[in-house]
């Protein structure tokens, strides 16, 4: 485990990065290190680490998918323990948010960063952005012992050592204020207050458009009035989604372990509260998972009484068995990484150095026709939406020819203009 007392490989480092495998298929190792023991020394401090153990943990996990880089960054003084994964950079640098979370164990954190970074490759490709897939998770420390601002700055120093191969942004558990601290140490960041700001409303907008398209596809309705939607997780994105659905006349049911967040939705939108243990048994039309992922499993699918699954959570399908069950069942699934891409599309509009909200809104609106195309192909080809969207994404991210970005001021130009936003 990552927090075990290591037995070998004493490394002098305050923040250190461990590259677990080959980058871009052609390994270049520093003198004295093997393929499983690559360490980049950043700051002098006595720390012990068994690099080989970390590498073996990563590469043995089922969610390891030929990731280009998986790195561990630690800093004893600030309490930083973070993982950065770069999955695929064919379209450009790995771009994805930084999640701050208290994980059940270290393997759960590694699994999460592997799945999330892979999902960003597919998400950015389907959104036709000149980005590859990357993601970071920070293992939440005891903030009574450490200063949050200093931890974020330490993380920023770790990001800077990747030299533009990974760009970060806000995600679950982090905020615009955190991004401002990270920015003090690296230029490889999006979503600052002074640029595109909080991505949550844009993520919610994309999910809302996905729900509209799904209702038209499955229920043959051109209105959401009276449609029963259960939103699981009413944090930043879930709250904004509730607001949009309420304005459209949908009947709302909400569930969250944070009771005050539920009460706000009850008061502002007339939502009906559902206890977390009753979510999968509710009599509703749409299940919208907007918290953490992996809630759609064979077990929950057998309980759900819905016609549509469409939500903001990443990696909603727990495993391959859930995917197979969906394909064989009657529930229409709106692929998560397609409809929840509004946030990353929004921050991509920073690229020319002049963020325009109206332009961001136009780009987010393209989510709806993309989903409609997935549904059309699924009907025509007799395939599940999961299969179709993955095929479409692979067609995009396996196309090379996209220039790599080394700083946020760079305007990325593509040799295939039709495949990317014109900045």
φ, ψ of residue 281 to 5 degrees: the values are -110, 0
Active-site residue flag, 193? no
Residues 6+ apart with CB under 8 A from 171: 96, 97, 98, 99, 100, 135
Stated as kind and residue range, the H or E segment containing 217 is none
Token pair of 75 as six digits: 């800093």
Our separate counts of H helices and E strands in the chain read 14, 16
- Please give the span between the terminal C-alpha atoms of the chain, in angstroms, as a whole number: 44
**Distance separating alpha carbons of residues 248 and 286, to the nearest angstrom:** 15
Longest dimension (CA), the chain: 66
Residue pointed to by tokens 């595109």:
196
φ, ψ of residue 40 to 5 degrees: the values are -110, 115
**Distance separating alpha carbons of residues 221 and 224, to the nearest angstrom:** 7
| 3 state SS of 219 | helix
**Distance separating alpha carbons of residues 142 and 330, to the nearest angstrom:** 45
Q: Report the b/e string of 397-419 with b at 16+ CB within 10 A.
A: beeeebeebeebebebebeeeeb
Token pair of 33 as six digits: 């290190």
Active-site option among 135, 161, 225, 359: 135
Asked if 165 contacts 93 with a C-beta cutoff of 8 angstroms, the reply is: yes
Asked if 168 contacts 136 with a C-beta cutoff of 8 angstroms, the reply is: yes
Which residues have a catalytic role annotated?
135
């Amino acid at each position: 485990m990552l927090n075990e007392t290591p037995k070998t490989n004493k490394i002098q480092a305050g923040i250190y990065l461990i590259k677990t495998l080959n980058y871009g298929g052609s390994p270049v190792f520093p003198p004295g290190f093997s393929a499983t023991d690559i360490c980049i020394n950043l700051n002098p401090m006595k720390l012990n680490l068994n690099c080989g153990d970390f590498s073996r943990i990563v590469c043995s996990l089922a969610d390891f998918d030929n990731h280009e880089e998986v790195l561990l960054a630690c800093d004893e003084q600030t309490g930083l323990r973070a993982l950065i994964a770069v999955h695929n950079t064919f379209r450009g640098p790995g771009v994805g948010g930084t999640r701050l979370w208290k994980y059940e164990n270290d393997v759960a954190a590694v699994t999460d960063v592997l799945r999330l970074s892979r999902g960003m490759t597919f998400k950015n490709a389907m959104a036709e952005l000149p980005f590859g897939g990357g993601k970071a998770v920070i293992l939440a420390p005891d903030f009574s012992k450490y200063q949050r601002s200093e931890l974020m700055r330490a993380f920023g120093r770790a990001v800077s050592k990747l030299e533009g191969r990974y760009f970060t942004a806000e995600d679950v558990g982090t905020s615009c204020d955190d991004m401002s601290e990270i920015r003090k140490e690296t230029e490889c960041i999006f979503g600052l207050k002074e640029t595109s700001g909080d991505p949550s409303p844009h993520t919610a907008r994309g999910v809302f458009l996905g729900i509209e398209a799904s209702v038209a596809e499955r229920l043959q309705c051109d209105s959401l009035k009276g449609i029963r939607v259960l939103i699981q997780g009413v944090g930043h994105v879930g709250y904004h989604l509730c607001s949009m659905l309420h304005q459209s006349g949908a009947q709302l049911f909400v569930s969250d372990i944070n009771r005050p967040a539920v009460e706000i939705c009850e008061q502002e939108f007339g939502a009906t509260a559902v206890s977390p243990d009753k979510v999968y048994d509710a009599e509703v039309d749409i299940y919208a998972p907007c918290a953490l992922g992996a809630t759609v499993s064979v077990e929950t699918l057998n309980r759900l009484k819905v016609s549509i699954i469409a939500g903001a959570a990443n990696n909603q399908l727990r495993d391959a068995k859930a995917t197979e069950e969906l394909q064989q069942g009657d529930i229409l699934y709106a692929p998560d990484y397609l409809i929840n891409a509004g946030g990353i599309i929004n921050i991509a509009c920073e690229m020319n150095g002049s963020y325009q909200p109206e332009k961001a809104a136009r780009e987010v609106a393209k989510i709806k026709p993309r989903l409609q195309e997935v549904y059309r192909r699924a009907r025509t080809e007799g395939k599940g939406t999961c299969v179709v969207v993955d095929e479409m994404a692979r067609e995009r991210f396996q196309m090379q020819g996209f220039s790599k970005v080394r700083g946020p001021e760079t305007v990325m130009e593509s040799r295939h203009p039709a495949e990317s936003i014109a900045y």
